[in-house]
Amino acid sequence: MKFTSIFAVIAAVVVSVGALPSGDTNAARFARGLPPLPPTRRTPADAGYRPKPSPSPTCKTGPIQCCKAITKASDPVAKKILGLLGIHVDPATYVGLTCYPLTGWHVDDDDCKYHTLCCEKNKYNGLIAIGCSSIGH
């Protein structure tokens, strides 16, 4: 009789200790043969910080350009292209070479593998864009 009583007390202690919340995940509880923990209600303070997406950069002169290169108009390649097109600009002016417009409601770093630029004159079918400045993400 004593053995049965001691065994029953030990079994009760083991079961009650296993039922206490231990901070385990439900997966760990399932692995031990225990039922899942009840769901907990979270308050907005528990939700954590969720930053709002940053606004897309804007360009007042037209669509943002993705250009393979940005250089000054004095660069030999840029100078040659400008000369062939009959365009005369200050040699210190920045130009973008081999550009295409980025369109859509949100411009992301993944949209352009090269240089994201805002350029004043983009009317040369992507060959060259004049008066460019970098748009930093």
Single-letter residue type at 98: T
Question: What per-residue confidence (pLDDT) applies to 135?
Answer: 80
Residue 69: is its pLDDT beyond 80?
A: yes
- Please tell me the predicted confidence (pLDDT) of residue 71: 92
User: Can you tell me the mean pLDDT for 37-54?
Assistant: 68
Please count the other Cβ atoms lying within 10 Å of the Cβ belonging to residue 65: 25
What is the rounded CA–CA span in Å between residue 44 and residue 41? 10
pLDDT tens per residue across span 86-95: 989 999 999 9
Under a CB-based contact definition with an 8 Å cutoff, are residues 19 and 34 in contact? yes
Q: Can you read off the two tokens belonging to residue 4?
A: 């049965």
Cα–Cα distance, 83 to 60 (Å, whole number): 27
Q: Is 131 left (phi over 0), alpha (psi -120 to 50) or beta?
A: left
